[in-house]
Amino acid sequence: YRYFPDPDLPPMTFDLKGDGSDDSAPLIAEDGTGSGESISEGSAPLLTKEGVGGGQDIISIPKIKNSLPELPQQKRARFMEQYGFSYADAYIVTEDEDWADFTEQTITELRSWLLALEETEGSAEEIWEKHGDKLAQLTGNWLINNLAKLLNESNTKLKDTKITPENFAELLALVFEKKVNSTAAQTILDELFKTGNDPASIVQEQGLEQVSDIGELDSIIKKAIDANTDVVKDYKSGKENAVMFLVGAVMKESKGKANPQVVKEMLIKKLK
């Protein structure tokens, strides 16, 4: 093939290092031949009038690279590095731009909430270093296993729901602080989807706050033990998994409000 210059295209000169200087000969020289120069890294204004005789524009290659949006694979790697996401979770939440943005905004809200807690001590970096991975994992789990399921069942897109990063983060904060159990949290999520109401208001209106008070749980646990003597015998004979049946009985009696971990610990102590 024979190459010749297009009269409508001016000579182009590229800044390869990002310092605004002419690092390369024009891609198409005045005589129509290619320069054959290589391209290097850097950062600088996309176009500058300086550095080339006659006021010719310099095109900054580093600036063009820096102006490109974050690609999905780059975002995926950053989520794994910055938030501790597994590859599988990072892949799912970064497949869609709306989901990726929602995830980051939720984690940002959770970070602000965590730093504002009076009982947390240390610098922002120390506090996030201690709790950040757990909150990010909680976010990923609830997004993928709970919110995504809800949206799929209702054939609804994330951007069309009444759930926002702010109220979703508030829900996750309630779960993280163990103020509600997973059953109650799902109820709150369903209500958020329908109404967009504040999670704290939903908890108060529906009486969903988790019960962890030993005195309040004691009578319910005693009732469960008295009503399931055969299960108690099984547990005492060495069938340790039988205790989970009793935990379920207490949860049923408390209408799902009892803290299952506290209930299990109390049952084990009582059945010794």
End-to-end Cα separation, the chain, in angstroms: 91
Residues 3-60 pLDDT 10s: 777 888 777 788 887 766 555 444 444 444 444 443 344 444 444 444 444 445 688 8
Q: What are the extents of the domains in the chain?
A: 1-68, 72-206, 214-270
Mean pLDDT of 228-246: 92
CATH of 214-270, one of 3.40.50.11540, 1.10.10.410, 1.10.540.10, 3.20.20.70: 1.10.10.410
Residues 113-131 pLDDT 10s: 888 875 666 777 787 788 8
**Mean pLDDT score across all residues of the chain:** 83
Q: Residue 23: its pLDDT value, please?
A: 54
Report d(CA 93, CA 85) in Å as an integer.
10
89 phi, psi to nearest 5 deg: -65, -45
131 phi, psi to nearest 5 deg: -115, -15
Out of 62-71, 80-89, 263-272, pick the least confident: 62-71
Residues 177-205 pLDDT 10s: 888 988 899 999 999 999 999 999 999 89
Q: Which two tokens stand for residue 92?
A: 């799912």
